[in-house]
Amino acid sequence: NIGQDVEAAFGSYRALARRAVDAGLRVRGYLSTCFGCPFDGAVPPARVRDLARRMVEEWGVYEVALSDTIGVAHPGQVDQVLTTVLAALPVSAVALHFHDTRGTALANVLTGLCHGVATFDASAGGLGGCPFAPGAAGNLATEDLLYLLDGLGVETGVSLDRVVAASRTIEPHVGHPLPSRVLAAWRPGV
């Protein structure tokens, strides 16, 4: 998204991240298109592992969000990438960021949970997207993620009812229905 190849971007962001870490800030890094790239195609899990490890070791980030910014990931792929990355990094240093282009974001979250990942990105109503990837849908909807986690008995400390209410206030301002499945079907108490 910044018009640089991987090595140039790593050089730019390494310096910025180090300055922030040296100033006492916690820095979370994002590694985009870990499961497929609109320009380069398939991404080898070893490449994801190596770049994530560099971000932790060279940049000083406390966590790397392995991101499916175009929404092509499927659970088998998530399993392969996490198995490879978690051989080099502790699970506490890994987060996941999924877009729901093909409807697999929640299945991918479940795969991440099975690996012990505890941090997942989401956005109200499923807002967001990748302007550089044709056809890429929005982020995983927060309320869809919460519905899954609540159903699994995972304590989040976040009220699903309140997130649904917040997303509903956003929807009229974007001029179209939000992609959240839970938002479309939500009936309080049901």
Is 34 in the active site?
Answer: no
Q: Which of 107, 99, 92 is nearest to 148 (CA)?
A: 107
Tokens of 40: 């380069």
Separation of alpha carbons 94 and 52, rounded Å: 9
The active-site residue out of 34, 37, 114, 130 is 130
| Neighbouring C-alpha atoms within 13 Å toward the C-beta of 32 | 17
Separation of alpha carbons 45 and 53, rounded Å: 12
Q: Which of 111, 93, 92, 75 is nearest to 31 (CA)?
A: 93
Which residues are catalytically annotated? 130
